[in-house]
Amino acid sequence: MAQGLDGTVALVTGASSGIGYATALHLAGLGARVAVVARRRERLAELAGRIADAGGEALVVESDVTSEQAARDAVDAAVQRFGRLDTVVANAGVMLLGPIVDAPVPEWERMVQLNVLGLLYTSHAALPHLLSAADGGPRSVADLVLVSSVAGRVARSGSGVYNLTKHGVGAFAESLRQEVTRRHVRVSLIEPGAVKTELSSHNRPEIQEQNRARWEGMERMEAEDIADAIGYVVTRPRRVAINEVLIRPTEQE
Ligand code: NDP
């Protein structure tokens, strides 16, 4: 039985495109007021407009979550505006593929800074508020949803450092889950396979070409498919915690 999100507040990082955008829209549709966080303000403003047009409420937070202070300020802005925080989706991420040998080291640094540190900063800033939401309020439960990847389960040649970051997210999620679950903060790991978003577009052109060839002729998932899964996770009754969702396109081996 689903439990709606009326009266609750959500924060989504990486909400200016792809999975984060679709998730913010979906959570708003389920009744949450939503803080939408990313660097591209105009995209966030467009999303907030769509949410408002549908009768919801969104707060635009322009933020680069690779800065600890910026991630903390984003969380604080949501709590200041809406008074509480029940659901956090730490989704912002970057995937820069290619061989490890002779790789451009700045690409590794970008992935570690965003996929690992950005997610940690967001979680660290949000946890006191989630614990307090779980201790009272409309649902007496709170959700921290961490977006990993199939790449957090299976390592492949050509995605070594992306694999490293996403495997790290999985380990962090399980450790934190054990730490806070008795206090009714549910920590859930989402592990998507290939989704049609901007993710691949940040790669060098030759890598983008290889990636295009890899998925050619295969029907990838839509961002809404992942948003739907996240919506399922965060609307379970208080007694039910979905720890992990591994979700691939049907045609992905
Ligand atoms: P997109 O590239 O479409 O979205 C990434 C989002 O992250 C954007 O909103 C971007 O916004 C935001 N972002 C990037 N850098 C920062 C930053 N420093 N601070 C705040 N926000 C930032 O990709 P997806 O939607 O596909 O990716 C979302 C998550 O899903 C990632 O963690 C990715 O690893 C994961 N994933 C995606 C898969 C796929 O096939 N697409 C498969 C498996 C996992 P802005 O540039 O405005 O800051």
- The DSSP letter of residue 202 is G
| Residue 2 counted as domain residue | no
Could you tell me if residue 97 is inside a domain? yes
Q: Write out pLDDT tens, residues 31-40.
A: 999 999 999 9
Q: Evaluate whether residue 4 is within a structural domain.
A: no
- pLDDT one-digit tens code per residue, 19-66: 999 999 999 999 999 999 999 999 999 999 999 999 999 999 999 999
Task: Say how many Å lie between the CA of residue 190 and the centre of ligand 1.
Answer: 13
Is residue 1 in a domain? no
d(CA 164, CA 93): 13
Give the closest residue (by CA) to ligand 1 atom 18. Answer: 64
The rounded Å distance from CA 147 to ligand 1 centre is 9
Query: Is 203 touching ligand 1 by the criterion CB < 6 Å?
Result: no
State yes or no: is 21 an active-site residue: no
pTM over 0.90: yes
Q: How far is CA 174 from the centre of its chain?
A: 16
> Would residue 252 count as lying in a domain?
no
Cβ-contact 82, 33 below 8 angstroms? yes
Q: Tell me how far CA of residue 240 lies from CA of 20, 79, 139, 188, in angstroms.
A: 24, 26, 13, 11
| CB contact at 8 A, 10 and 35 | yes
Pocket test for ligand 1, best of 21, 36, 39 (most atoms within 8 A of CB): 39
- Let me know: does 251 contact 46? Beta carbons within 8 Å: no
Strand partners, 236: none
Looking up residue 198, the CATH number of its domain turns out to be 3.40.50.720
Which residues, 6 or more positions from 81, have their beta carbon under 8 angstroms from its beta carbon? 35, 59
ipTM entry = 0.99
Residue (of 131, 137, 169, 130) closest to 153 by Cα position: 169
Total number of domains in the chain? 1
Structural domain of 66: 9-247
Q: Specify the pLDDT at position 227.
A: 98
pLDDT in single tens digits along all 253 residues of the chain: 678 999 999 999 999 999 999 999 999 999 999 999 999 999 999 999 999 999 999 999 999 999 999 999 999 999 999 999 999 999 999 999 999 999 999 999 999 999 999 999 999 999 999 999 999 877 899 999 999 999 999 999 999 999 999 999 999 999 999 999 999 999 999 999 999 999 999 999 999 999 999 999 999 999 999 999 999 999 999 999 999 999 999 999 9
